């Protein structure tokens, strides 16, 4: 793990970006650039909080019971699922959603951009441990730009000599006023695989209002979807590039009670709208090729 003093001297930005170690020993990057505030965990390469100055509410949901321990994913914010999305299909009992959300990422870059926003890049590379479960050489970068908008760009480089195929997700947990006050629009007439019904293919009719468990993989998803929250009186525009899949997940009351790091009522406080490459929308990278999956979240008051 990189040392706090070194991180602060090499990547700290006076009055804007600093590194702190919390009680768990995890390193948090604290950003306040006058436009927005944010907290990024180097474990998982994950944003845990993002709040524009003119908004009363955080954009992201972070569970009060999130566990900050090696080997566990932090429940909330923007977990990175890579190099597979969903359950491990190898039969080797590997973790769901890949292994990088359980890794300590390295900080490689921080800077102030011309519009005053702050850019931070974290990276991971293959190790003996990663090659034991996924036998490829790679560099994985996440660039996080904290401005009026929140921008995430996840870049995969194939640094080995053999091609590989992967799936991935920016598995974002949005903080909402109440699940029954939100509406997801932009996916009407799109087909989705319904994970709760043996991955049956179904068509979305109209906007999505959630009043039961939802776990859907929308295919050929549009560039932009919207999350309207009438309780928080705001709409989040979610635009994606590099993926053609959007996943919408809310566990509702029964499933949430089986998830240890979520409160029984917490399903009311978040919805995951994920920018994804999954199922047939996988990515094949030949040696030396790279691919970027990006999501931009922009909050507008209603
Ligand atoms: O993206 C939706 C999903 O795959 C759901 O099926 C649900 O299991 C969720 O992610 C959370 O997965 P996790 O492994 O983080 O508990």
What's the rounded mean pLDDT across residues 60-86?
A: 97
pLDDT in tens, 149-159: 999 999 999 99
Nearest CA, atom 14, ligand 1: 96
Residue 176, helix vs strand vs coil: coil
What's the rounded mean pLDDT across residues 63-72?
A: 97
Report whether pLDDT(92) > 90: no
Question: Average pLDDT, whole number, for the chain?
Answer: 97
User: What is d(CA 6, CA 81) in angstroms, rounded to the nearest whole number?
Assistant: 28
For a ligand 1 pocket test, name from 62, 66, 86 the mutation site with the most ligand atoms within 8 angstroms of its C-beta. 86
pLDDT in tens, 260-285: 999 999 999 999 999 999 999 999 99
Report whether pLDDT(208) > 80: yes
Does the C-beta of 215 come closer than 6 Å to ligand 1? yes
CA 121–ligand 1 middle distance (angstroms): 25
- The count of domains in the chain is 1
User: What is d(CA 172, CA 58) in angstroms, rounded to the nearest whole number?
Assistant: 13
Answer for the pair 218, 190: CB distance below 8 angstroms, yes or no.
yes
DSSP β-ladder status, 118-125 and 138-146: antiparallel
Report whether pLDDT(98) > 80: yes
44 conformational bin, left if phi > 0, alpha if psi -120 to 50, beta if neither: left
Report whether pLDDT(18) > 90: yes
Does the C-beta of 154 come closer than 6 Å to ligand 1? no
What's the rounded mean pLDDT across residues 126-143?
A: 97
Confidence of residue 89 (pLDDT cuts 50, 70, 90): confident
Q: Which is higher by pLDDT, 105 or 92?
A: 105
Cα angle value 233/182/265 (rounded, 5°): 110
Domain of residue 162: give its range: 4-301
pLDDT of residue 90: 82
What's the rounded mean pLDDT across residues 157-168?
A: 98
pLDDT of residue 247: 98
Cα angle value 47/279/205 (rounded, 5°): 85
CA 66–ligand 1 middle distance (angstroms): 15
User: What is d(CA 105, CA 133) in angstroms, rounded to the nearest whole number?
Assistant: 18
Does the C-beta of 225 come closer than 6 Å to ligand 1? no
Does the C-beta of 249 come closer than 6 Å to ligand 1? yes
Nearest CA, atom 16, ligand 1: 259
Report whether pLDDT(123) > 80: yes
* Range scoring the smallest mean pLDDT among 1-10, 96-105, 130-139, 151-160: 1-10
pLDDT in tens, 218-265: 999 999 999 999 999 999 999 999 999 999 999 999 999 999 999 999
pLDDT in tens, 166-186: 999 999 999 999 999 999 999
Residue 195, helix vs strand vs coil: helix
User: What is d(CA 247, CA 221) in angstroms, rounded to the nearest whole number?
Assistant: 9
What's the rounded mean pLDDT across residues 99-114?
A: 98
Nearest CA, atom 9, ligand 1: 249
pLDDT of residue 2: 80
CATH number at residue 255: 2.70.98.10
Report whether pLDDT(1) > 80: no
Query: Is 0.95 surpassed by the pTM of this model?
Result: yes
CA 97–ligand 1 middle distance (angstroms): 8
Task: List all residues 6 or more positions away from 265 whose beta carbon is below 8 Å from its beta carbon.
Answer: none
pLDDT of residue 91: 82
User: What is d(CA 252, CA 259) in angstroms, rounded to the nearest whole number?
Assistant: 11
Answer for the pair 72, 83: CB distance below 8 angstroms, yes or no.
no
């Amino acid at each position: 793990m990189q040392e706090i003093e070194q991180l602060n001297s090499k990547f700290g930005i006076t009055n804007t970006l600093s590194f702190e170690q919390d009680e768990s020993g995890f390193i948090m990057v604290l950003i306040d650039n006058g436009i927005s505030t944010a907290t990024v965990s180097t474990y998982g390469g994950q944003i845990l909080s993002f709040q524009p100055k003119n908004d009363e509410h955080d954009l992201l949901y972070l569970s009060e019971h999130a566990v900050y321990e090696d080997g566990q994913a932090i429940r909330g914010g923007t977990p990175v699922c890579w190099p597979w999305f969903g359950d491990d299909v190898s039969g080797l009992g590997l973790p769901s959603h890949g292994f990088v959300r359980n890794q300590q990422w390295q900080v490689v870059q921080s800077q102030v951009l011309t519009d005053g926003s702050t850019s931070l890049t974290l990276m991971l590379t293959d190790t003996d441990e990663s090659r034991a479960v996924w036998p490829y050489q790679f560099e994985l970068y996440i660039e996080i730009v904290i401005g009026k908008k929140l921008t995430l760009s996840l870049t995969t480089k194939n640094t080995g000599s053999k091609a590989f195929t992967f799936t991935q997700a920016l598995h974002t947990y949005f903080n909402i006023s109440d699940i029954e006050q939100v509406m997801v629009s932009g996916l009407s007439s799109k087909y989705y695989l319904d994970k709760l019904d043996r991955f049956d293919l179904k068509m979305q009719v109209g906007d999505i209002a959630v009043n039961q468990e939802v776990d859907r993989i929308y295919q050929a998803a549009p560039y932009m979807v919207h999350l309207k929250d009438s309780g928080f009186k705001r709409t989040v525009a979610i635009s994606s590039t590099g993926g053609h899949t959007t996943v919408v997940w809310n566990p509702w009351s029964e499933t949430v009670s089986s998830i240890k790091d979520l409160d029984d009522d917490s399903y009311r406080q978040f919805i995951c709208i994920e920018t994804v490459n999954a199922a047939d929308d996988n990515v094949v990278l030949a040696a030396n090729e790279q691919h970027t999956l990006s999501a931009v979240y922009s909050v507008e008051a209603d």
